[in-house]
Amino acid sequence: MDATETRREFKFVLKPGLEGDLRTEVEKHLAADSHANEGYPVISEYFDSADRASYWQKQFGVPNRRRVRGRLYGRSDGSIPASAFIEIKHKLDGNTAKRRVCCDIKDLSILSEGRIPDHIETSNRIGQRIINELEYLIVKQGNRPVVQIRYHRYAYDSGPDSTIRITFDLELHCRFLLKPLQADCTDFDLPLLEPGEAVMEVKTIGPVPHWFRMLVGQHNLVPCGFSKYATALEKYEFNHQSP
């Protein structure tokens, strides 16, 4: 699935032991991401304003909202080369669009300082739009990094023309002590879920396939509005637990 396509998203928090069974069923219908049969680490840095406007917009169901994040992929052994992106996740009337540009890893630190990197490609419509949005969200509104989150992801879809993508995120941890992002860094000590739990996320363009609806019914799965960013704030920052 094209990451920039507008789609609907559904999330499920899975009980311990269920993730493996569901992945086995999904693998019968969808292929794993290329060169990532064993999954891959994802590290993200989430931005917000000092008064946590992005968080509260989600809580109050504001229909048109955006959030900035830096994202880093890659394995420490080099089997998946490190790659970095600056992303803006845009929710509009229940649909989600993700606009992103590839960047150097050092550009993520520049963005964290409240500056827009000089190397963002602006020759295409998406690049120029992201620059404009960063000017507003980072420079004008003063959004800055709040928390960094790491997890291990297994992802499945049927290629660029796919209408469904399913991911399983395991071992979700966060940290509020902000550090320069490094691919596959494991220095994240604050868990977001109970041991053994996982998050299954479904991104779909158009109807959900029949086989997946049957899978949801078979396991009595109930979608929820789980947000890694919101969970980190609620579990640690708002509860005044020491990060």
- Under 8 Å between Cβ of 239 and 232: no
Query: How confident is the model over 84-113, as a mean pLDDT?
Result: 91
**pLDDT tens for each residue of 51-82:** 999 999 999 989 999 999 999 999 888 888 99
Give the structural domain span for 79: 8-237
Domain harbouring 223, CATH code: 3.20.100.30
Query: pTM for this structure?
Result: 0.91
Establish if 243 belongs to a structural domain. Answer: no
Establish if 151 belongs to a structural domain. Answer: yes
pLDDT averaged over the chain?
91
Q: Which residues in 74-207 belong to E strands, given as ranges?
A: 83-92, 95-103, 144-157, 164-175, 190-191, 198-204
Query: How confident is the model over 221-234, as a mean pLDDT?
Result: 95
**pLDDT tens for each residue of 126-184:** 788 899 999 999 999 999 999 999 999 999 987 766 789 999 999 999 999 999 999 99
Establish if 224 belongs to a structural domain. Answer: yes
Establish if 107 belongs to a structural domain. Answer: yes
- Beta bridge partners, 14, equal 198
Establish if 242 belongs to a structural domain. Answer: no
Establish if 3 belongs to a structural domain. Answer: no
Q: Which string of b and e fits 225-243 if b means at least 16 CB within 10 Å?
A: ebbbbbbbbebbeeeeeee
Kindly tell me the sign of the dihedral angle through the C-alpha atoms of 172, 230, 4, 107: negative
Establish if 1 belongs to a structural domain. Answer: no
**What is the spatial distance between Cα 62 and Cα 76, in angstroms, rounded to a whole number?**
39
Which of 167, 169, 147, 148 lies closest to 156 in space, CA to CA? Answer: 167
Chain centroid, CA 174 distance in Å: 13
Count of the separate structural domains present in the chain: 1
